[in-house]
Structure 1
Amino acid sequence: MAEQLLRQADNKVFIVGIAQESTLQKKDFPNKNGNGTYVAISGDITVKTGEEESHVVSYFAKELTAKGEPNKNFKALTTIMNEIVTVADVAQGLTEGEPTRLQCQGELSLNEYKGNDGEIKSFVKIQGKFSPQRYKGENFEADIKATFDIEGIIKSNKPELVDGEETGRLKVELYVPLYAGKVIPLDFITDVSVDNAGVEYLQENFVPRSSVNIYGNIINKSKKIERIVESAFGKNKTETTYERTREFAFDGGTLYEEGVHEKQIFDVSLLKEALAIRERDLATLKEKEVNKPQEQKDKGFGNGSANTAPQNKPTEDDGLGDLFGED
């Protein structure tokens, strides 16, 4: 009998904007078995969606599929790589014309690595699922966006605090099931447009162990702030700082209920093993990094196999107390 695993959650990101920068490259990568190399395109495309806002979408596509056949995504990504015109290209005089208008699809994932302090660092990234396409709509300005639509299991639901004071928004932590029974934790915040009645509903219904679908906007702003510092003599100097905001603000969602959303509800009894797999993967990452040369450290962590990882139990702060305690 096949092992039961958490079903993979719907996890969608949609971005429409102007190509700001591209680092796409065709490179040779070593095969995992150590024999030979394979060709793939790897890199990021930064998409500008506002005067002070942009979003990085990561791409990776092998030239050949597992069956040795040409990969359609590789072909499409090659075309984009060769033809894309970015804001950076135009600014540097490398090309003429208008920057390419793009529409991208992806999913939210985590990039995790060991920092120089020996601790595991984690940040959310947008992983492109298909090759980006040229914008094909009729009203580009109206269609510019960066949105997400995602399912998950509620880990916690708490008021947002800034300097110890509640902001009126809620911070919702989700466990998002991936492929092969894996899971990652992601944080979301209620959009400021959610009224008091909406916040009250979320507090009462979006409780730990609940299966939900939420959707909203990806915010990644970098506001430039310049301050004039007066000099005792001569010219004054200008100090430049940046005020950065990165969050996933949801403004709508659905609580999956028994008798209504039977197929969508996640089997929480399978979450313990998924979290155990995650802990083993992270432990393996820390062990492997110990013996790596310096130039190989601080590189991204995927979702490696749990088969060779040491057996580690989930830690106390992983939410298991809330999720699997007594009702």
Structure 2
Amino acid sequence: MAENKTVLREASNVVTLEGTLAEVRHTEWKNGNGLNIELDIEVAPNEVHTVKGFSKYKKADGTDNAIAKGYQTIISDYKSIAEHGRDQADKVRITQGKIGLNEYYSQGILKAYPQLTTNFVNRLDANEEFNPKAEFDVELFVKNVTEEKVKGEETGRVNLNGYIPLYGGKVIPFTFVVTKEGSQYVENNYEKGSTVNVFGKIINYKEQKVTTKTAAFGEDKKEITSITKREYLVTGGNDPYDEDSKNAFNPEIIKKALTERETYLEGLKNESSNENNKKSGFGGSAPNNKPSKPVEISDDDLPF
């Protein structure tokens, strides 16, 4: 049978990035115990990926945290395009990044966006080979496969929808898009409830095009068009794991993790609502202190 442990194992979840350091941003924690960092990494013209990280300055035993020290080195020593210009900017490489989600509630609506994180960033030496790229290699518990449509028209590609188990027994929903060449295989072989390993490219392309509308009199009019393309493109994958494999995710454990996720999201929503109530001041609605109802997930929402 599939893995019978009661704790959901963390999926293999590896992001590899290599590019030119475009910008570094950081903020100290309010309590002074750690910091957050954001790196913009350019892998191609008009294609920049943002990677985030956070760390306490000290470990539980009081010793220095190597992750925080690494972030501080980036902030103080690494050269970015924004600060030093393109010619002097450092080339950097990330080999153990991860895919995650940035989730929050805004006016009662859940917002969720893919997010890349990392603990370590390496600066390339001048004599090292430089190969700009943004790639992923991830295990996924399949929910379903659906046709990709743009403005109601099928593109020939498919969306691979599923869940990525994270550290600590958590899961996040995630959607990949599969190339036309691989779509038929995925449709025929990646059944709901199966565990698969896929790999491919992370695309975050943004370009502005300026066109000129010629005037019969007076000045010509410039029109600016923004072209944006963000997707996690599956270029290859392996056969689904055998259901008896110890590496296949147990559907019952996934179901439990999804229930816990809904409870977490309910708490996140209440927390957001309470924050909004505090900001509303006099006349605002009172916080809801009633205990929340147990979260129930219908069978239609489950990937099995």
Same fold flag (TM > 0.5): yes
Structure 2 vs 1, CA of residues 176 and 237 (structure 1 numbering), >3 Å: closer, same or farther? same
Structure 2 vs 1, CA of residues 294 and 249 (structure 1 numbering), >3 Å: closer, same or farther? farther
The two structures, once aligned, show a CA RMSD in angstroms of: 2.5
Unaligned stretches of 5+ in structure 2?
Answer: 281-290
Q: CA deviation at 1:295?
A: 9.8
Is contact 2:171-2:257 (8 Å) kept?
yes
Is contact 1:171-1:187 (8 Å) kept?
yes
Is contact 1:210-1:255 (8 Å) kept?
no
SS of equivalent residue, structure 2 residue 241 = coil
Structure 2 vs 1, CA of residues 199 and 10 (structure 1 numbering), >3 Å: closer, same or farther? same
Query: Which residue, 11, 19, 23 being the options, matches 1:9?
Result: 11
Q: What does residue range 62-73 of structure 1 map to in structure 2 within 5 Å? A: 62-73=56-67
The whole-number CA distance in structure 2 between the counterparts of 1:266 and 1:316 is 18
- CA distances 1:252-308 after superposition (whole Å, capped 9, x unpaired): 11133338x7121111111111111111111111111112158989xxxxxxxxxx9
SS of equivalent residue, structure 1 residue 292 = helix
Q: Does 1:82 align with 2:76?
A: yes
The whole-number CA distance in structure 1 between the counterparts of 2:111 and 2:300 is 16
Q: CA deviation at 1:38?
A: 3.8
Give the counterpart letter for 2:90 in structure 1: T
Structure 2 vs 1, CA of residues 19 and 315 (structure 1 numbering), >3 Å: closer, same or farther? farther
Q: What does residue range 152-163 of structure 1 map to in structure 2 within 5 Å? A: 152-163=140-151
Q: What does residue range 95-174 of structure 1 map to in structure 2 within 5 Å? A: 98-104=88-94, 105-116=96-107, 118-128=108-118, 130-136=119-125, 138-140=128-130, 143-174=131-162
The whole-number CA distance in structure 2 between the counterparts of 1:28 and 1:200 is 48
Q: CA deviation at 1:3?
A: 7.6
- CA distances 1:214-243 after superposition (whole Å, capped 9, x unpaired): 000000000211122344643223122211
Using the aligned pairs only, state the percent identity: 30
Query: Which residue, 257, 264, 282 being the options, matches 1:274?
Result: 257
- CA distances 1:170-189 after superposition (whole Å, capped 9, x unpaired): 11012111122211010001
Alignment match, 2:29: 28
State the 4+ residue runs in structure 1 displaced beyond 6 angstroms.
294-297
Q: What does residue range 37-52 of structure 1 map to in structure 2 within 5 Å? A: 37-52=31-46
The whole-number CA distance in structure 2 between the counterparts of 1:295 and 1:171 is 41
Structure 2 vs 1, CA of residues 76 and 309 (structure 1 numbering), >3 Å: closer, same or farther? farther
The whole-number CA distance in structure 2 between the counterparts of 1:281 and 1:230 is 56
The whole-number CA distance in structure 1 between the counterparts of 2:81 and 2:261 is 39
The whole-number CA distance in structure 1 between the counterparts of 2:21 and 2:296 is 44
The whole-number CA distance in structure 1 between the counterparts of 2:100 and 2:278 is 24
Structure 2 vs 1, CA of residues 317 and 50 (structure 1 numbering), >3 Å: closer, same or farther? farther
Alignment match, 1:201: 185
SS of equivalent residue, structure 1 residue 200 = helix
The whole-number CA distance in structure 2 between the counterparts of 1:147 and 1:23 is 23
The whole-number CA distance in structure 2 between the counterparts of 1:68 and 1:174 is 40
Q: Does 1:255 align with 2:239?
A: yes
Q: CA deviation at 1:153?
A: 0.5
Query: Which residue, 192, 206, 229 being the options, matches 1:222?
Result: 206
SS of equivalent residue, structure 1 residue 15 = strand
Query: Which residue, 199, 222, 234 being the options, matches 2:218?
Result: 234
SS of equivalent residue, structure 1 residue 288 = helix
The whole-number CA distance in structure 2 between the counterparts of 1:272 and 1:208 is 13
Structure 2 vs 1, CA of residues 312 and 127 (structure 1 numbering), >3 Å: closer, same or farther? same
